[in-house]
Amino acid sequence: MDFFKLSKEETDFFVYIGEINREGYASLSTEITKISEEDRKPNALLCLATFGGDPDGGYRIGRCLQHHYEGKVALYVPSLCKSSGTLTAIAANALVIGNQGELGPLDIQLRKADEMGEHSSGLNIFKAINFLEDRVIDQFRRYLMDVKFGSGVSTRLSADIAAKLVHAVIEPIANQIDPAKIGEHQRAIGIAQQYGELLNEMTKSLKQGALATLIAGYPSHGFVIDRKEAAKLFNHIYKPCGTLRSVFEAVLPYCFDFNRLGSNPIVFNFKPETTQEKPNDDEPTSQQESIAPYEQPTDNTGESPDSPRTESPTKRSRKKGVGSSPSSV
């Protein structure tokens, strides 16, 4: 797996830390439009740390970056970039994931009607239906064989008895499934499907079948998709080089402050100070070990050790854009 080659002189840097929502999207859009056409760099790199949030907001953030920096968007994931943050990642032409960085599945989370602050996966009801289907077949076969060879009655009568036994076992469970809920959950899953397809149209960042895997291929919403797993899903996965880590050195401690990742977003145009680049174990030792941004890597497998830098910053240069929406899905 290759290192991401960063050109600071040709890149606008942005930071987004906190919940994904429309307020955060509006703040990012404002920060981008503040840069005049003459001063805007050809490339954009967004450092994103979030637990997730509103899929509509995640889609708008991705579209915003694609609109202003068409074909030249990179996303840096130093820590958590879950749920709707992963949706935004589909909009990037290059995805740079640190050692402690991780993405997450895209199964939409729905609020539980009678519980405060609790959510359930939109896939739960379909998992239950699939389980019932499997159980019906297994139970019918078992009852049929038991009745047929245990009592010596005809196959037709045995099948009739087995069907009635299965019905008696499954019906009380099946009656608890609300058809209206099935439609609601199906529409919710369709949100991730449609948004993912739209964002991927411009970047072609996902491999064949990867979107379906992100939506329904993992056992839980919190499942860890680290850099190595992400390389199975995305076409352009990189490791952070020393230059990139030096640029965001002042920001990284806040990306690992988990109290911030689910709160109102902090969004700003980050302007790194011109300092001497620090040596880093991640830094490639020759030109051949690096590749230019937005080029397709030649190998998406393998992972070399690199240690995240989490030193406390001594200086920060930033502006805040704070959203206020408490909702999340």
* CA-based end-to-end distance of the chain: 33
Angle formed by the axes of helices 22-33 and 55-68, nearest 10°: 10
DSSP string of 11-28, one letter each residue: EEEEEEES-BSHHHHHHH
Give the contacts of 206 (CB within 8 A, at least 6 positions apart): 90, 196, 200, 233, 234, 235
**Can you give the pLDDT of all 329 residues of the chain as single tens digits?**
788 888 888 999 999 999 999 999 999 999 999 999 899 999 999 999 999 989 999 999 999 999 999 879 999 999 999 999 999 999 999 999 999 999 999 886 555 555 444 555 555 555 666 666 777 778 778 877 887 777 777 888 878 877 887 777 777 776 776 666 666 666 777 888 999 999 999 999 999 999 999 998 888 888 999 999 999 999 999 999 988 988 999 999 999 999 999 889 999 999 887 544 544 444 443 333 333 444 444 444 444 444 444 443 433 333 443 333 333 44
Domains of the chain plus CATH, in order, are 3-104+224-291 (3.90.226), 124-179 (no CATH)
Distance CA 8, CA 166 (A): 66
**Tokens 């939409």 belong to residue:** 108
Q: Which helix (H) or strand (E) holds 219?
A: none
pLDDT of residue 21: 95
Report the alpha-carbon distance of residue 29 to residue 32 in Å, rounded.
5
Burial status of residue 176 (CB atoms within 10 A of its CB: 0-12, 13-18, 19 or more): exposed
94 strand-pairing partners: 74
**DSSP-assigned letter for residue 294:** T
Report how far residue 205's alpha carbon sits from residue 198's, in angstroms, rounded to the nearest whole number: 12
Nearest Cα to Cα of residue 84 among 18, 13, 145: 18
- By the 8 A CB rule, do 262 and 25 touch? no
DSSP of 103-152: B---PPEEE-TTSTT-EEETTHHHHHHHHHHHHHHHHHHHHHHHHHHHH-
98 and 240 in contact (C-beta within 8 Å)?
yes
DSSP secondary structure code for residue 322 in this structure: B
Query: How many CB atoms neighbour CB 327 within 10 A?
Result: 11
For residue 180, the model assigns a pLDDT of: 65
Select from 221, 14, 198, 206 the least CA-distant residue to 102: 221
Spatial CB neighbours of 17, under 8 Å, sequence gap ≥ 6: 48, 49, 50, 251, 254, 255, 260, 261, 265, 266, 267
The predicted model scores a pTM of 0.69
Q: What is the three-class DSSP state of 246? A: helix
Displacement of CA 263 from its chain's centroid (Å): 18
**What local confidence, expressed as pLDDT, does residue 132 receive?**
67
pLDDT of residue 123: 55
